[in-house]
Amino acid sequence: MNKINLPQAAKLTSPNPVSVVCTMKPDGSTNLATVSWWTYLSFNPNMIAYAMAKTSYSGEMVRNTKKVILTIPGAEIADAVMGCGSTTGRNMDKAEKFGIELAEIEGNSIKIPFHSRVAIQCSLKEYYEVGNHYLYICNVEQVYGNDAEEALFAWNGYSQLRPAK
Ligand SMILES: Cc1cc2nc3c(=O)[nH]c(=O)nc-3n(C[C@H](O)[C@H](O)[C@H](O)COP(=O)(O)O)c2cc1C
């Protein structure tokens, strides 16, 4: 074994998961941000967790509204998902900028990318400071799936987004 740094370890563990975190902005529109680190936490009750940099606009939104939908994007929107991971929604509508078609979820004002394999609708339970990130612990309210969409994964660390097969 050789000594390596964590980003190098992330390359060795590729493919890594990719999600799009959907939150509501003050004007009612949806912000989309690419997040690789998330996990199932508990199946009774259903809970998930994800972590985002303290500076992220999405973090500010979920801490304010306590609502978030974590989605697994479909392969068709790979380039747009990379775009959502390299820009902030603070002064921009990412769905419009990257041409992401949005879909509504019943009874929810947060929209999701139409091309999603899974959508996990959550309420924020609590969050913890972890270095330069916050770890968000969420209660799952509803889960949606569409196996016709092929899930995206991050390859070569986080530099490429494509399916696992
Ligand atoms: C493939 C990929 C994976 C990413 N994973 C994470 C992550 O797990 N946590 C995080 O804080 N940012 C992650 N990012 C970066 C955020 O998406 C980026 O900081 C984005 O600008 C945040 O947008 P916002 O300010 O609108 O919330 C990732 C970016 C890419 C391209």
pLDDT over threshold 90, residue 157: no
Protein residue with its CA nearest to atom 6 in ligand 1:
35
- Residue 53 Cα, ligand 1 centroid: separation in angstroms? 8
Percentage of the chain lying above the pLDDT 90 cut: 95
Q: Could you tell me the residue ranges of all domains in the chain?
A: 6-162
From ligand 1's centre to the CA of 107, what distance in Å? Answer: 27
Residue range 6-162 forms a domain whose CATH class is: mainly beta
Whole-model pTM: value is: 0.96
Pocket of ligand 1 (CB under 6 A): 18, 31, 33-37, 51-53, 56-58, 82, 85-89, 154, 158
Please report the atom of ligand 1 found closest to the CA of residue 94. Answer: 26
Listing DSSP states for 35-78 in one string gives: E--EEEEEETTEEEEEEEETT-HHHHHHHHH-EEEEEEEBGGGH
Over range 1-10, report the average pLDDT. Answer: 91
Q: What does the pLDDT look like over 14-58, one tens digit per residue?
A: 999 999 999 999 999 999 999 999 999 999 999 999 999 999 999
Q: Return the closest-CA partner of residue 109 out of 35, 32, 34, 23.
A: 23
Report the pLDDT averaged over residues 134-148.
97
Over residues 71-102, the pLDDT tens digits come to 999 999 999 999 999 999 999 999 999 999 99
